Structure 1
Amino acid sequence: MRHPDAESDELLIDRDGPVVTVTFNRPHRRNAFTTAMYDALRSEVDALADDTRVRAVVLRGAGGAFAAGNDIGEFAAMTSGAEAVAYEARVQELLGSLSALPQVTIAAVDGLCVGGGLAVATCCDLRIATASSRFGYPIARTLGNALSRALLERCVHVFGESLTRQMLLTSRLVDADRAYTIGALLAVCPSRAELDTEVASVVEGVLQAAPLTLRATKQQLGAITATDPAGRADDDALLEQVYGSAGFREGVRAFLAKEPPRFADVEASEPPAS
């Protein structure tokens, strides 16, 4: 077992020859990501980028969840929309690097996979899940924030536009069977043990395949699905408006207080954006 830094108890890295397994290890918080976890994951991804010895990377969560978004307590310290946009940009850099890894990346999902967890899973090449797993971005009913354009596009690529609209506009979660039906999952497994078996089988197939073929294919697919940089400035302005709103502040307050957010009340009292 190898640990990247002092925060390694929340991000476990195991290397077994050509296979690296990354485990999100905050089960008491359903593995919600902290900045330290993102930084540790970024360090590992950067180290893997030029490591030709590694052929497959498996990402998974401990304790019956993949990852339930981000640690909302960190948002409470942000006082402006610009701070949140900068936070999103750092996360997006990590996710872009994860997507660009030359190795085949596999999200092994057991349980809740929402928010930042779904962002990570959709940036992997393959997703395998247990039957009890659920996916979504219920942000319109929880925090009142918004996805970056890059994450939205990635979700559309994986789940399709129609289901992405349903996830975001209704805040409903998608079950594993439906995700499998539309091709977002490679397989659905009845139990965690069978998930482990299926992941091992897929990894074995990757190790038997031609490395250069897989790398070339990933480069080609990455070029096809790359986000258009021309829309970045408009996207940042939109995110700053949402994250700087009274609605978002209410979402964070209510989440931490374990209360239903009163979006309509606070946004009705906020002057319209000019």
Structure 2
Amino acid sequence: MTEGATDELLIERRTAENGQHWVEVTFNRPEKLNAFTREMYLGLHELCRSLAEDPSVKVLVLRGAGRAFAAGNDIEDFLARDQVPYEEEIRAMFTALFELPQVTIAAIDGACVGGGLAIATHCDLRIATPRSRFGYPIARTLGNALSSPVLFRCAAVFGESLTREMLLTARLQSAERAHGVGALLAVTESLADDVAELVASIMALSSVTLRTTKSQLGFRAAALEPVPSGEEELLRAVYAGPDFAEGVRAFLAKAKPDFR
């Protein structure tokens, strides 16, 4: 299966011992800490649409090449677009990932921030190495804001208190802290082996149970996390405002922003 595959989004279909299939995706921009471009989001969205109609695949694993899971959006690529429609396009990909009937696993090694954290929180399960770090440090970088559904999903996974700390202090959180609040299934030095063991164990489970449970939890999440009225206007004000302009200036100059 290569739907959505690019040089920066490697997709491999694998077969388990019992003949069932699983798919592994590698975010492949290690020199950029796997920061996402629009083409990568579109490729992942295309893959999700394909998997949604493929009952032969039971598990999807997402991982990053090199020393990061994914370090958010590629800023230059992000700035080249109208940010609000682009945010909506990205959010549609998150929704497609969250609604997959397959069990989705984020295998995290290193930085898992910004858009990378959004991808991880829209997976069912997360497992990470001790050196992994999590957060949305946007209050000290670009001065933008999350869309509400992405923020709500983070709170659902990490809890409201830790989500508030992530956003309101711009501090990155350790794997140990994330595991302590239940956001991670495990913290391990043997990520590849533990993920392989997890996949093998899921392959032996009832597909009916897995798909029904995911459907039920999806209905609950949709009921709890609607997009607030006025969201588009709110985000347009953020991206047209002085803090985002200063954040962009400082980022391009490789300087510390002066938010006034």
Equivalent position amino acid for 1:28 in 2: E
1:33 to 36, 42, 56: 36
2:207 to 211, 219, 226: 211
Q: Provide structure 1 residue ranges, at least 5 long, that are not aligned to the other structure.
A: 265-274
The match for 1:144 is: 143
Measured after TM superposition, the shift of residue 4 of structure 1 is: 3.6
3-state DSSP of counterpart to 1:158: helix
CA contact (8 A) 1:72 1:256 kept: no
Equivalent position amino acid for 1:69 in 2: G
State how 1:1-274 maps to structure 2 within 5 Å: 3-4=2-3, 8-17=6-15, 18-78=21-81, 83-190=82-189, 194-226=190-222, 231-264=227-260
- Tell me the number of residue pairs that the alignment of Structure 1 and Structure 2 aligns: 255
TM-superposition CA deviations, 1:144-193 (whole Å, max 9, x none)? 11000100110000000000000000000010001001100000012xxx
Equivalent position amino acid for 1:90 in 2: E
CA contact (8 A) 1:106 1:127 kept: yes
Relative to structure 2, which stretch is displaced further, 240-249 or 98-107? 240-249
Query: 2:193, 2:215 → 1: CA distance?
Result: 28
TM-score, normalization by structure 1: 0.90
Runs of 4+ in structure 1 off by over 6 angstroms are none
CA-atom RMSD, angstroms?
1.4
Q: Provide structure 2 residue ranges, at least 5 long, that are not aligned to the other structure.
A: 16-20
TM-score, normalization by structure 2: 0.95
Measured after TM superposition, the shift of residue 119 of structure 1 is: 0.2
CA contact (8 A) 2:137 2:167 kept: yes
Percent identity over the alignment is: 55
Measured after TM superposition, the shift of residue 233 of structure 1 is: 3.2
CA contact (8 A) 2:149 2:226 kept: no
